[in-house]
Structure 1
């Protein structure tokens, strides 16, 4: 990869003239610069764009007023360009035009990307100091970036895999030491079980994936393994795709795949497989909570409590879309800690994601390997706009092979 190579990402409607001026300045000083209106000749547009990011060391992000507003839409191309640059660990240089509020623009990005871009040194651009700004850009901001080689990536993966404990190697570790933070058990007094303080995160679920979770049949129920092989998906309706599941379906979606965001787009069968795997790794009895266990952990001893925090609704206490709150996706599982906790201190019981439960009590199907056609889901999620959906007693059932970007899970231990 050429050291003096740059990709310019910009919103054409507001920054096309600035983008061209920067492009021409860098070219005059010997830089290899990609600007989509000048450099693409023909071919598959999205493939060419992403490949150009891969082949360049630096990534300039032009920010004008409201230029990142459309990044709230998952298919926005500027969003996808930023996500690719972050994934590839490129040297990202935000250039902020005079009319733009940097913090406000960053608020339009998904949390996982916002955390990365906010830490970058941004270059403010004043209209009358363009040449001075370009000197700073070339001589200070476009330094040789640190990039991880494939060998480095392989070594990191090998190191993580060595940390995954198997039964054949060493004494089994406990769940707290295996799962990366944030993770903790909350003991429910006099009930004989503990419940996870937070929903399971992407980083925690990744251990299951990297341990061969989608390749190891013994960690799945019979019905679950069949659903995995069938590869159920939602087209015009729910049906088998013939392409087996190999990971959660939102695994590569930058809006939902932050390490400390709850894992989503997984079926009940995948949540149950995670529990079976973790039970084997730890020797502990790990399961999904039953509907009754979940409700008690959310309400405490007061079975009439409406919300985990009390009886008065406040949209500032959890991740939701009840007016005037307006969520654009999942948040870190710790973001509302200390605000909307249950009486036992359990976090995110409502808001953020709804959660799979073990049972389908209407028909007494409580065992994992039963042929239950539905399972309970508890807790309102980030997309819901009506307060009744966030009540502790609110419940619904969902088919176990379904998955969507607002259902996750937490675990229970007895």
Structure 2
């Protein structure tokens, strides 16, 4: 076996190649959530106690995993939607804003899980949604090399914590969001009023695109009001009984910048569909032998 750093899942080759690019997220530790001081500032500035759900800040160890470099596009969605259903039908063109390179939207958590199940069946790799801890760790992209030893919470907040992977502020040149409300020292910018093609803005240190804005992204986890007793191993936090409320991350084209922060958490029901919600896929490191490895595998057809 060899260490795979990236690969692509080829969905179609003609008339042009349509692939899902997967990239390795090296495991490591980080302080998930937001410090009490920052939460207090946010609650006061925006007169809203919602930000309390980003606490308590806690150390999480994330194992290696793979994550899609981009949100799932409409071209990718359409191919999988045409495959045989496993648990539910998928509309081939659910999105409000049409375009092959635009992120698919108006898809529910259940729809995203069906997409993963169909892709898993064909590819023999178990695709899923990222856990909430994986998503935040990947979004922050703090270090090019994993942090393998725990640092103090104070040290992390002083040297590594930032609101966005590109710094403490956000503007219309760094992400697609509702710029009618500026953040930090930024001024009101260009509000696009719709989704933009995936990869339109710079990536983070993990070579991931569109982690802030464009479309909200579903996570695997059930929603909890705070991080009390949250898993510390990066796994999905799910109740034993069925839970309808699921976690969303990243903000969207429609949302003000404070909702696009790396640690902001939102929640809607698992069957809800809206033009600001999409997803990207994740998986554990695939085991591919050296004899078959290439950037063009695994092949689906």
Q: TM-score range by the shorter chain?
A: 0.5 to 0.7
Q: 2:166 aligns with which of 296, 300, 309?
A: 309
Q: 1:250 aligns with which of 94, 111, 128?
A: 94
Structure 1 residues 368 and 248: alpha-carbon distance in aligned structure 2, compared to 1, 3 A threshold: farther
Q: 2:33: which partner in 1?
A: none
- Cα deviations by residue, 1:364-403 (Å, 9 ceiling, x for unpaired): 874699621100000010011x321111000111100101
Q: How does 1:186-265 map to 2 (within 5 A)?
A: 186-190=23-27, 191-212=63-84, 216=85, 219-220=86-87, 225=88, 247=91, 250-251=94-95, 253=96, 256-265=97-106
Q: 1:395 aligns with which of 255, 258, 265?
A: 265
Structure 1 residues 345 and 208: alpha-carbon distance in aligned structure 2, compared to 1, 3 A threshold: same
Q: 2:250 aligns with which of 379, 386, 392?
A: 379
Q: 1:278: which partner in 2?
A: 119
Structure 1 residues 359 and 209: alpha-carbon distance in aligned structure 2, compared to 1, 3 A threshold: same
Any stretches of 5+ residues in structure 1 without a counterpart?
A: 1-173, 226-244
- Cα deviations by residue, 1:34-91 (Å, 9 ceiling, x for unpaired): xxxxxxxxxxxxxxxxxxxxxxxxxxxxxxxxxxxxxxxxxxxxxxxxxxxxxxxxxx
- Cα deviations by residue, 1:173-211 (Å, 9 ceiling, x for unpaired): x86222654631121113220100000001101112211
Q: Larger C-alpha radius of gyration, 1 or 2? A: 1
Any stretches of 5+ residues in structure 2 without a counterpart?
A: 1-6, 28-62, 143-155, 180-187, 231-235, 285-301
Normalising by the residue count of structure 2, what TM-score does the alignment of the two structures yield? Answer: 0.63
3-state SS of paired residue (1:194): strand
Contact 2:78 2:92 in 1 (8 A): no
Q: 1:266 aligns with which of 91, 94, 107?
A: 107
Structure 1 residues 175 and 278: alpha-carbon distance in aligned structure 2, compared to 1, 3 A threshold: farther
Contact 1:355 1:379 in 2 (8 A): yes
2-side partners of 1:375 and 1:353: how far apart?
Answer: 15
Residue 178 in 1 paired to residue 32 in 2?
Answer: no
Structure 1 residues 349 and 369: alpha-carbon distance in aligned structure 2, compared to 1, 3 A threshold: farther
Contact 2:247 2:268 in 1 (8 A): yes
- Cα deviations by residue, 1:277-326 (Å, 9 ceiling, x for unpaired): 11111111210001110000010246622112222322211111213221
Structure 1 residues 403 and 396: alpha-carbon distance in aligned structure 2, compared to 1, 3 A threshold: same
Normalising by the residue count of structure 1, what TM-score does the alignment of the two structures yield? Answer: 0.46
- Cα deviations by residue, 1:114-164 (Å, 9 ceiling, x for unpaired): xxxxxxxxxxxxxxxxxxxxxxxxxxxxxxxxxxxxxxxxxxxxxxxxxxx
